[in-house]
Each structure stands twice: as C-alpha cells, then as structure tokens.
Amino acid sequence: MIRTNNISFSYTEYEKTEELESDDRELVIAAREAALNAYAPYSNFKVGAAIRLETGIIVKGANVENAAFPSGICAERSALSNSISNHPEDKPVALAIAAMTEEGLTDDFPAPCGNCRQVIAEEESRTGNKIKIILAGKNKTQIIDGISCLLPLQFKGKNLKINLP
C-alpha cells in the first residue's frame, strides 16, 4: 500500500518584542546582548543565542568565526556547548536567537542552520525536554514549539525514535 503523508506545524508570530511574555522577552534581550560579543570578521553577521535552563539560569553564546571556515561555530551551538559543559543536569527549555549586521538588528528571523538544528534535536533527545525556539527579528518574533517543527524526520541514531511534529 502506498500512502502520502503530510507534515506541518504551527508557530506564533509577535509583531513587537514588547508583546512577548516577560521570560521570552528577557531571553531575546540576552540573545541580542550575546550577538554583540560575536567574533564575525568574515561575514559581519553577528548572531547571539540565549538558552533558558529549567532552573532559570540563562546561558549565552555567540558565533565565533575562523580564517579556516569550518573551524568556526554558530551562536546556537556555542550556547549549547556552554550549557552542556557548565550545567549538564539542567535542561534547556527555551532558546532565543538574534542577529545583527553593521546596520543593527536584522528584520529577518534568524533561523538556525541545519547543523544547529541537528544539535538542538540531540539536546532535546538527551534531556527528554522540548526546547521552545524563539526567532527574534528587530521587531517581529516567531515562537516555535520544539525542534521537530524545524527538523522533521530527524536522524537520531539506531536506538532513538523519530518524533513527528
């Protein structure tokens, strides 16, 4: 039997940062602060990520580029490496991402790259906790309920189940 399946997801969009719930707004501000610390001399595209852990701790990361391009790391993985290294028992519950160019914060939503989606997915699997993803443009913000929306049909290795959105 042949079957055609469909995968779709819903997300919430806010017109202004001020409309966000206070916890999410705080995380967006932290992501913007983190972007200021980015080392991005090659792209001039500074990205900041901020993770809220279950205990309320906020961990930040920024993109760190390198002349040997593959040696660079994105803000999201930088923040996740930070949280796993320093708070391995504390589960990420939300991740905010912000980006800026020389002209300031981007209007566009800074969606995570494929590598980062894969790493976020594995962190959800490791902790058993869905991570709310907050994509913060200059004004508008999109909130996505977990990485399975952005990375359906995930590769999870041989012993792990696939979660559809």
What is the nearest approach in angstroms of Zn ion to the Cβ of residue 115? 5
Is 82 in contact with 66 (CB distance < 8 Å)? no
Contacting range for Zn ion; rule: CB under 5 A; set: 44-52, 100-108, 112-120, 150-158? 112-120
Asked if 74 touches Zn ion (CB under 5 A), the answer is yes
Q: Which residue number, 118 or 125, has a Cβ lying nearer to Zn ion?
A: 118
Residues in the interface with Zn ion (CB under 5 A) total 3
> Helix crossing, 75-86 with 114-127: angle to 10°?
20
**Closest residue (Cβ) to Zn ion?**
74
Say which residue the tokens 């017109």 belong to: 15
- Residue 80, interface with Zn ion (CB under 5 A)? no
Q: Annotated catalytic, 76? A: yes
Among 29, 30, 38, 116, binds Zn ion (CB under 5 A): 116
Angle (deg, nearest 10), helices 22-36 and 75-86: 110
Q: Which one is catalytic: 65, 76, 123, 124?
A: 76
Q: How far is the CB of 117 from Zn ion (least distance, A)?
A: 8
- Please identify which residue in 113, 153, 162, 164 interacts with Zn ion, judged by CB under 5 A: 113
Name every residue whose Cβ is closer than 8 Å to that of residue 82 and which is 6 or more positions away in sequence: 51, 59, 60, 61
What does the block give as tokens for 66?
């390198």
Residue with tokens 């995570």: 112
Q: How far apart are CA 8 and CA 48, in angstroms?
A: 28
Specify the amino acid at residue 146.
G
**Rounded least distance, CB 70 to Zn ion, Å:** 12
Q: Which residues bind Zn ion (CB under 5 A)?
A: 74, 113, 116
Catalytic residues: 76
